[in-house]
Every structure is written in C-alpha cells, then in structure tokens.
Structure 1
Amino acid sequence: MNTHNNRYAKWKQRELVLILLYAIAFYAYVLWRSIRLSHDHYFKLHGLAPSWLIPNRRNDVSDAQWRNFRGNFPILSFVFAVFTVIANGFRSFFHLKAKGMAILWLSMSFIYLIYLHGACVIYILSIATANFLLVKVFARTKYFPFMLWTFNIIFLFCNRIYEGYSFSIFGQQFEFLDNFRGTFRWHICFNFVVLRMISFGYDYHWSQLDSHFDQEKHVTRCCLCKLGKTCYVVRQERGLASDSCSFSLYLCYLVYAPLYLAGPIISFNAFASQLDMPQNTHSFKDVAWYGVRWLFSFLLIELMTHLFYYNAFVISGLWRELSPVEIFIVGYGVLNFMWLKFLLLWRYFRFWSLVNGIETVENMPNCINNCYSLETFWKTWHASFNRWLIRYMYIPLGGSRRKFLNVWVVFTFVAMWHDLEWKLLSWAWLTCLFFMPEMLLKSASNAYKVESAFGEFLLRELKALSGAVTITCLMIANLAGYVVGPSGINWMVSSFLKREGVPVLGGVFFSLYVGTKLMFHIQDLRSRVHSPK
C-alpha cells in the first residue's frame, strides 16, 4: 500500500512539471496571439484612447464602467481623503462612539449624495423612511419577512421601469426639479440600498428573537478571536439592542459614502458595531500594504488595456469576423478583464472603508483562473453579495434542504437585481442548469470513499474532467449574461461546431483540463503549508 502511495506521489511531482510547461506554453501563445490581434485590427476598433504608458499603442477604454471610474478617480480619491481626515480627526479628538459617528458620517455622506443625485435624494430618503417604519412596526410579526421582501422588490422594479421617476408626475410645480438630478442616476445605486434595507430589516427582526449564536464556542475555534481581535462573523452574528437601531444609524448605514456606490456589501450588525468600535483585524501596516497592492493591480490593468484590446473587439462587434481560436482568446481575455476591473473597483472602496475603521468582506479573494467548481466560483466572485444571499435569502428559504429549488430562486433574483434584461435571466438560468449536475456529482463523490492510490487517481481524473466542463459552462454563462448575449453565444457555439472549430474546441477543453489539475496542485500546496506541523 505504501509502495503504491509513494509511486503516486512521485507521479504527481512529474505531472506538475509537465503541467507547468504546458501552462507556460499556453499563456505564451495566448499573449502572442492577443498582441498580434490587437495590432492587426486596432484601426477598426471602437473605444480606443491615446496611450499614456506605451509609445505607439492605444488604450482600450471601451468599457463604460472602467472609463467612468478612471475619469473620476482623482476627484473621488480627493473627496474620500477629505472625509477620512475629518472622520478620524473627530473620532480621536471628541472620542465619538456609534451615535456621534453615525451623525458625522451621515452629514458627510449626505453632501456626497447631493452631488451624485441632486434633488433625487428626496426619493432615496422617502423610500428609506418608509422601510424603517415598516421594520419598526412589523418586525415582531410572523409575516414580516414576506412584507419586507415585497416592499423592497416592488421599489426595485418600479425604480427601473420608471427610470427613477420624473418629478413632473407629482405636479407641474415640481417639474423644475428634473433639472437638478445630479451627476449619477440614483436608481442604479439604489440596488445596493435595497440590499442594505433588507439587511437592516432582518437583523432587527432577529434581534427580537432568541439568538442561536454561541460566541464562546466560536472564540475557541476562530484564529482571529483567539488573538484578542473581533472577526467579521462575531460582529455580524452578535445582535444589537433594539434601542441602538436609531433612524440616524440606519440612514448612515444605507448611504455610508465609501461603500455607497459599489459595496462591498456589509450587514447592518457588522457595520453598526464598527461605528462604536473600529475594526482591529487589520493593522495600519496591513491597510497601507493593501493600498500599495491596489496600485500594482491598477498598473496591471493599464498594461493589459494598452497591450490587449479584448473589450473593444466585443464593443465593435469585430469578434464575429475572427477565427475560432481567436474568438476563444478574446472571450477568455474579456472575462479576465472583467475580473480585474471588478477587483480594482471593489478593493478601492474597501480600502477607504478600512481606513475609516469599517471592515467588509473581500469581494475577490481568489483569482478567476483558480476556480474549477461553480460553488467555489460564486463564493469568491462578489463574495460579500454571496454571503448576503446566503444569510438573507438562501437560509430563510430552507437552505440545503431545498437547494435544487433555492438556486433557481436565488439566481433569478440576482439577475433581476442587476437589471431587467433577458440576457441576464438567460445567464441566471444557464448557471442554475449547469449547477444541477455539479450538485449531484458532489453528493455522489462525498458518499464515495477512496481506499487506494488508484482510486484516488481515478477520482482526481474524474474531478479534472468535470472541472473542465464546469469552466466551459461558466464561460458560456458569463459571456451570455454580461458580454455578447444569448444570440452571440448561439453564433459562437455554432462557429466552434464547424469543421475548423472542432479541433480548437478539443484544444480548449484539454487546456481547461490541464488548468484544473494545476489548481489541484495549488490546493495540495496550500494544504501542506497550512496543515499543523
């Protein structure tokens, strides 16, 4: 038995060498073809700007979200720096606690909101006030969760359908207010406010019930809590006293400036506890290094958009003129660009929140190229939203007892929360469809016990093959939902099923299979590093 295990261990070492050589060759080829593609077609692409980094190159700023963030980065950083100095100065000088900090941050965030939304702040305050009254009056009733969801879903949809409402619907005397709607559409940002209003409602509702959280038991298991720090789980699960849930604290939570535009999402309990006692999980040195790492990531995406014009190919519709292998490279590149873009956006706002003493969940803890299962992918892509969905939606719906039904409900909500578009619903339902076999296989593999080296080898190979299938499904679902739409996916699939596309499809699948095995080796290395000596 030991002999077979030793042989298998040696085989895994040789396998790792072969996998690394293949990975180097794969990425060298992808990078070379990407540079050539961008160089050969740049004059036909839309959304390219003059370069500031590399002479004789253009910069792909065709993505509207990234372009707006880059353009507003200086003023945004200046505003947050001023807010940080004021907030931390007042906290230190006047020894402010939760109530004082809530009023201070509410005042500064209100100025920020008026700049963003102008007179439309009236809509935000009106809906938020109605939600607060609903929570305070009905939180102890049996049907409160249904009432809370109904109220918020109605406004989520109405805000989009009526595009933020015109003031003229309330009378001609208010029509002039439509000239003062600010610089940013309020109903787009309000999607995050809806999540916070539901979080406040549930956290307040649960505070009226008996708590099932055993803090003493948690402290014995949590590495951070053992060091005398307060982890995010304790802040979230430890309920607040009812009289602590004031209107000013509630409003502060909804519009807290560093997290208002894009998150990361934080529960009401976790936010309120940190206004009273700033986070102590991350030291000043940790937060400073986090900011430095963000700058390196910013330089990386700038280098990427200067060398590879992936997004411009999609925006221009030119990807339809490419060969199957080039279509794969552009699609793969777009998904990597999206991951890096969101990583930068979320880490930027999380950095400013940490500087001000509020810790949130890291939204992108893993690289997009290091996920081979749907479950892992969604736990590490917009992780704070994933936790919100589990806490306030998945578990109240019955959790794992009804998981085959719940995933359809949850992903349909996620799609409609993003926007009312058919391509997002197609993304959600494709994801659920792909989720079904993974959940069945996971249940089967958990029941199967490996008793030999050959059995472990066989199980590992099957997992690598299923991982390659999963990554393919993820690429299809995300390209359908966020890049080319369902019609684009149909065209893309048909091009890969033609005579010249089948060998490319086989090569792509083999590359994903090899990539999955590389992830296994990374996982093994992490297990050895973190295992007790």
Structure 2
Amino acid sequence: QKCEVCYSGKTCYFALQEKGLSVDKYTFLTYLCYLTYAPLYIAGPVVSYNAFAAQLDVPQKNYSVGQICCYGLRWILNFLLIEVMTHFFHYNAFVVSRLWRQLTPFEIFIISYGVLIFMWLKFFLIWRYFRFWSLVGGVETPENMPRCINNCPDLESFWKSWHASFNKWLVRYVYIPLGGSRRKLLSIWVVFTFVAAWHDLEWKLISWAWLTCLCFVPEIVIKSFSNNFQAKSTLGRFIHRELCAIAGAVTVSSLMVANLVGYVVGPSGIKVLMARMLHKDGELHVHIHYL
C-alpha cells in the first residue's frame, strides 16, 4: 500500500495510520509501548497507534542512514542559530523583565514579532530533535513545522504546518466529530479553546485562543466567497499573487497580536498598549474603565 497523501510513492506513516492491523497487534503490551515510547512521549510528534505498531515489526525504510545523519546535521546548525539569537537578540528578556512597559507600541510589536520567530525556532528544534531520535529507532512520524512561519499566506496553512501532527489529531478526533467544514465557523471556537486548555488552563491562553478565532472568522468567510475564483490570465495571476502576499502580511500581523496577548503583555496589558496607541495615559484609562 503506497501513500496517496504525500505522493512519495513510498509506504509512509500517512498510509500506515489508515491501514488496519491484525488482531494480535492490539495488545496491552504494544499499547503501553506506544504510550511510553520516549521520543514521542516526552515532546515528539503525534503518530497514530496503527502507524506506530506497524513499524515495530518493519522499521521505516524511507530514510537511509545518510539521510538521517543529514537530518541530524541540519538540527545542529539550527541549534547554533538559536544560540546566536539568544546571545544577540534580547526579545524574551524584554518580556520576562517587563521592560516592554517603557517602550513605544511600535517597539512592542517588533518585540512580539521577534518572540514569535524565536518560539517557531524553539519548537522547531524540540520537535525535530525527537523526530530524529524516532527515525534512528526505526519509527517515522509526521514532520512538524514543514514550512517557515513567514511562508504561510493564511492562518489555516499556518496552523496546519505549526504543530502538524497535533493538527491531524485534532482534525480526526475533535474537528470532524463537531461537524467538520459544515460547521467550521462554530467548531473552530471549540477546537482552539481545547488547544488552549491542553497547553495550560490560564486566562491569557484562553484569550489567545479566542483572539485567534476572531482573526480566523473573516478569513473563512472570504475564502468561502473566493473558492470559485480561478486566475487564468497573466494579470489575474499577478493580482492573485499580490493578494496572497497581502494575506500573508495580515496573517503574520494577526499572529503577532494574538502572541502579544498570550505571551507578552497579557489580557490586562493590552489595555495599556491600546491606550498608548490612542495617545492616552494607560494607567488612568484602565482606572477609569474599572470605575
């Protein structure tokens, strides 16, 4: 059985997770091994039980030893990159030390963008390290973050590639049972609230989830009207490319705003920030608001 999802012509985890197993594979010992397999249990990508159990007897053959070594070398180079960023770009120090309160709104947004890029690279390293460990053990798993954060023209493609394996799990076990695309405008609120609670039950994460949904709704509506549009002429393709570039800028800006609430200023700090942008005294504005 060859994979019809990634079109690689190989038997990869996409095909294996849909392929049934013999009854003797569904044992408590195998399931316990699936739950506690170190590369996946600690912080690795999410893979289905069927794909995992099928590779216990027949380890993955899509990656040769040389390819796995190159994969590990690329991880080392990216690790050196984040070390350079940590020493010379102090975005996270501004957030932890609360010095953002002394900066202008424009500078705060720049810091938010830097934190977003740092988070992308941090999770990139975490997930690829454990996937590398899994490949060495003969188990192929989905690749999280297959594309750069700046190469996502819309929020949907961003979330499909950020934590790609978790996204597939959410689609199968949460999104589709809620009605899938037939109830997309409603189901995304449940999905993102679940994701926020899955990370940690904090108000700032719930705010992050709901703010992301607010940015997601207009995109869904626009896409529903533009699905029938097919650019055929040179001018049409040019306009379509420029609109995608604008959409990509809006996507990154939306992620920056959501990131500000979730990881930088918090729900209360956004009031002070908005007051500064309106050229008002932040503390006085918040005080009057609560009165």
Q: Note if 1:274 corresponds to 2:55.
A: yes
When residues 454 and 232 of structure 1 are mapped into structure 2, their CA distance, relative to the original with a 3 A threshold, is same
Question: 1:48-59 to 2 correspondence within 5 Å?
Answer: none
CA contact (8 A) 1:310 1:330 kept: yes
SS across alignment from 1:253 = helix
CA distance in 2, matches of 1:371, 1:220: 24
CA distance in 1, matches of 2:91, 2:112: 8
After superposition, the C-alpha distances for 1:167-222 in whole angstroms (9 at most, x for unaligned) are: xxxxxxxxxxxxxxxxxxxxxxxxxxxxxxxxxxxxxxxxxxxxxxxx5xx65786
SS across alignment from 1:224 = coil
When residues 252 and 220 of structure 1 are mapped into structure 2, their CA distance, relative to the original with a 3 A threshold, is closer
Aligned pair partner of 1:356 in 120, 129, 137: 137
After superposition, the C-alpha distances for 1:228-284 in whole angstroms (9 at most, x for unaligned) are: x31111110002233321001111111111221112111111111111110111111
Q: Which residue of 1 aligns with 2:36?
A: 255
CA contact (8 A) 1:224 1:281 kept: no
Aligned pair partner of 1:288 in 69, 74, 79: 69
Question: 1:428-443 to 2 correspondence within 5 Å?
Answer: 428-443=209-224
Q: Read off the aligned partner of 2:231 and give its amino acid letter.
A: V
CA distance in 2, matches of 1:260, 1:387: 17
SS across alignment from 1:396 = coil
Aligned pair partner of 2:160 in 364, 371, 379: 379
Aligned pair partner of 1:224 in 2, 5, 8: 8
CA distance in 2, matches of 1:451, 1:220: 28
CA contact (8 A) 1:476 1:489 kept: no
CA contact (8 A) 1:411 1:432 kept: yes
Deviation at 1:447, TM superposition (A): 1.6
CA contact (8 A) 1:412 1:425 kept: yes
After TM superposition, the structure 1 stretch with the greater mean CA deviation from structure 2, 301-310 or 445-454, is 445-454
CA contact (8 A) 2:17 2:51 kept: yes
Q: How many residues align?
A: 280
Aligned pair partner of 2:89 in 308, 312, 316: 308
SS across alignment from 2:227 = helix
When residues 382 and 425 of structure 1 are mapped into structure 2, their CA distance, relative to the original with a 3 A threshold, is same
CA distance in 1, matches of 2:112, 2:5: 43
When residues 376 and 222 of structure 1 are mapped into structure 2, their CA distance, relative to the original with a 3 A threshold, is closer
After TM superposition, the structure 1 stretch with the greater mean CA deviation from structure 2, 363-372 or 453-462, is 453-462
CA distance in 1, matches of 2:44, 2:4: 31
Q: Read off the aligned partner of 1:289 and give its amino acid letter.
A: C
Deviation at 1:405, TM superposition (A): 1.4
CA contact (8 A) 1:372 1:468 kept: yes
Q: Which residue of 2 aligns with 1:417?
A: 198
After TM superposition, the structure 1 stretch with the greater mean CA deviation from structure 2, 474-483 or 455-464, is 455-464
SS across alignment from 1:230 = coil
Q: Read off the aligned partner of 2:8 and give its amino acid letter.
A: L
CA distance in 2, matches of 1:320, 1:220: 51
Identity of aligned residues (%): 64
Q: Read off the aligned partner of 1:224 and give its amino acid letter.
A: S
Q: Which residue of 1 aligns with 2:98?
A: 317
Q: Which residue of 1 aligns with 2:146?
A: 365
Aligned pair partner of 2:21 in 236, 240, 265: 240
Instruction: Name the larger-Rg structure.
Output: 1
Q: Read off the aligned partner of 2:45 and give its amino acid letter.
A: P
Question: 1:82-231 to 2 correspondence within 5 Å?
Answer: 215=1, 223-225=7-9, 229-231=10-12
Aligned pair partner of 2:250 in 458, 469, 490: 469
* Structure 2 residue runs without a partner (length 5+): 281-291
CA distance in 1, matches of 2:232, 2:40: 49
Aligned pair partner of 1:400 in 175, 178, 181: 181
CA distance in 1, matches of 2:172, 2:276: 42
* Structure 1 residue runs without a partner (length 5+): 1-214, 500-533
Q: Report the TM-score, using the length of structure 1 for normalisation.
A: 0.50
Q: Note if 1:334 corresponds to 2:115.
A: yes
Question: Which runs of 4 or more aligned residues in structure 1 lie more than 4 Å from their structure 2 counterparts after TM superposition?
Answer: 218-222
Q: Read off the aligned partner of 2:134 and give its amino acid letter.
A: S
CA distance in 1, matches of 2:274, 2:107: 14
When residues 375 and 287 of structure 1 are mapped into structure 2, their CA distance, relative to the original with a 3 A threshold, is same
Q: Which residue of 1 aligns with 2:208?
A: 427
CA distance in 1, matches of 2:63, 2:127: 17
Q: Read off the aligned partner of 2:73 and give its amino acid letter.
A: V
CA contact (8 A) 2:109 2:256 kept: no
Over aligned residues, Cα RMSD in angstroms?
2.0
CA distance in 2, matches of 1:277, 1:451: 47
